[in-house]
Structure 1
Amino acid sequence: LRDAGFRVIAPDLIGFGKSDKPTKKSDYSYAGHVAWMKAFVAALNLSDITLFCQDWGSLVGLRMAAENEERFARIALGNGGLPTGDQAMPKAFKIWQSFARFSPWFPIGKIIQKATVSHLSDEVIAAYDAPFPSGRYKAGARAFPVLVPTRPDDPASAANRAAWEIFKHWQKPFLTCFSNRDPITRGGEKIWQDSVPGAAKQEHVKIRNAGHFLQEDKGPELAATLIRFIQANGE
């Protein structure tokens, strides 16, 4: 994307980079992550944004776009969503949620490897592990699965429902680029294609032989998809 001439901003969510991070799970909330990222975008005064979001990037990014429509020009969603707790979650997610909550063993790099199709080198796994030198640094990573709304009365459910109402009238370009080998989000693109007006005339993409972290499995293919999307929708 950068080589194609675009400005690319890829912030670490709080709790995940090598910078200082809160060390208690209670320090993290869904609303807090949204507020942190809204403050980040406001501080940089970003506009005409093309949002690509995946996993928690979508839970945070889609909320942020719905609540700050004027800053966003187009959205590409891959392997993510905006759950309200009104629908049943896949069994694979419930297993992951329990693992994050109760397992004493929580190896970040190997977890990423489990969620990809391609083999990651020892160096890549070590890079994923680097921001988490001990368990006390993993509070944010452990908190994330538990913060996903899985009940209608979840603290984030009302705000996510409100965001869905915005997207039901969203006319700006909206692309789905899900992978075919993610047991958690497989098929999740259909509701967006059917519900978002801006998705109606887009050439949605299914990225083959990629797992949950499709940007790790098929980075160049995903980048090419995003470039085509931006160029076809008013660069």
Structure 2
Amino acid sequence: MRALRTPDARFADLSDFPFEPRYLSIDDTLGGALRMHYLDEGPGGVGPILALHGEPTWSYLYRHMIPVFTAAGHRVVAPDLIGFGRSDKPAAREDYTYQRHVEWMSDALEQMDLHDVTMVCQDWGGLIGLRVLAAMPHRFSRMVLANTALPTGDHSMGSAFENWREYSQSVPEFRAGRIVHGGTVTKLTEAEVAAYDAPFPDETYQAGARAFPMLVPDQPDDPASAANRAAWEILRGLELPVLTVFGAEDRIMAGIDKVFQKEFPGAAGQPHKVLPGAGHFLQEDVGLELAQLVNEFIAQS
């Protein structure tokens, strides 16, 4: 598997991002290895918050939340998905599959030997994270679901998602920073837009970002549908506490929080929130509030 690696110089002097890069060597599933970048902040010896980003972001998305977590005494582990951030980027679109993303993240958790994990996931962070949780529930203690889903293809994802997918495949220049900017209410500075563009020096680095929208199961016979249905069966039987925090202005994920609240036993009686003034990338719009809600959730569960 041929992979590209974004030059370190692209990540110099990022806005509000004083965190030390760390790396793992991940099995690429074809006998080779990929380098995965992650952040690991806060004290050791405590169950970590696993902060999982989605499309087309990276661990930079959690930069405002990490200090709130660590100030409360929490360890935070925030990986960059393969194909994103400072992680390696397989060059061919066909190298990216839903199953491989699950296996890559599972490998990372096993290598770090994480236990008593609080998963905080958004967008594809949930699509991948929930599959990982279903495969190794013994590693997790609770989950916070923010603007995410676990689709099986048995129900439509809606017109907003269809429009996004069409855009992601047809737009001549895939500008990650402008996509994040468009998915927020408060809007980004030019420096923040540049930070989201940093992982992608040119189009050749964007195979994973272009591939993601087409990997979402949207038909009952999608390659990932059966595995996602099986994950749902496991997740429905878990008693882990579950909190949903969704952005009121997120049109793509609107209403999916109610599905999680209905299907997950551990969601009963929790202080679920739909936050005003928050779009799809609610970490940008209401990151401090979201982080405080996670801290309170951990303290109370």
Give the TM-score of the pair, scaled to structure 1.
Answer: 0.97
Distance 1:188 1:17 in 2: 27
Alpha-carbon deviation of 1:18?
Answer: 2.5
Q: What SS is found at the alignment partner of 2:292?
A: helix
The corresponding residue for 1:51 is: 119
**Cα pair 1:56 1:80 within 8 Å, conserved:** yes
Flag structure 1 segments of 5+ consecutive residues without an equivalent: none
The corresponding residue for 2:82 is: 14
The corresponding residue for 1:116 is: 184
Letter in 1 for 2:95: D
Q: What SS is found at the alignment partner of 2:251?
A: coil
Q: Percent identity?
A: 52
The corresponding residue for 1:26 is: 94
Alpha-carbon deviation of 1:113?
Answer: 0.5
Q: CA RMSD in A?
A: 0.8
Q: What SS is found at the alignment partner of 1:171?
A: coil
The corresponding residue for 2:104 is: 36
Give the TM-score of the pair, scaled to structure 2.
Answer: 0.76
**Cα pair 2:81 2:87 within 8 Å, conserved:** no
Structure holding more strand per residue: 2
Distance 1:172 1:151 in 2: 29
The corresponding residue for 1:139 is: 207
The corresponding residue for 1:160 is: 228
Q: What SS is found at the alignment partner of 2:151?
A: coil
**Structure with the larger RCO, 1 or 2 (CA within 8 Å, 6+ apart):** 1
Distance 2:299 2:87 in 1: 35
Residue pairs, 1:67-106, within 5 angstroms: 67-106=135-174
Residue pairs, 1:138-217, within 5 angstroms: 138-217=206-285
Distance 1:180 1:17 in 2: 27
Corresponding position: 1:229 with 2:297 = yes
Letter in 2 for 1:217: D
The corresponding residue for 2:196 is: 128
Moved over 6 A (4+): none
The corresponding residue for 2:45 is: none
**Cα pair 1:18 1:130 within 8 Å, conserved:** no
Alpha-carbon deviation of 1:102?
Answer: 2.3
Distance 2:245 2:87 in 1: 31
Equivalent pairs counted in the alignment come to 233
Q: What SS is found at the alignment partner of 1:6?
A: coil
* 1:41-77 per-position Cα deviation (integer Å, ceiling 9, x unaligned): 0000000000001100000001100111100000110
Alpha-carbon deviation of 1:111?
Answer: 0.5
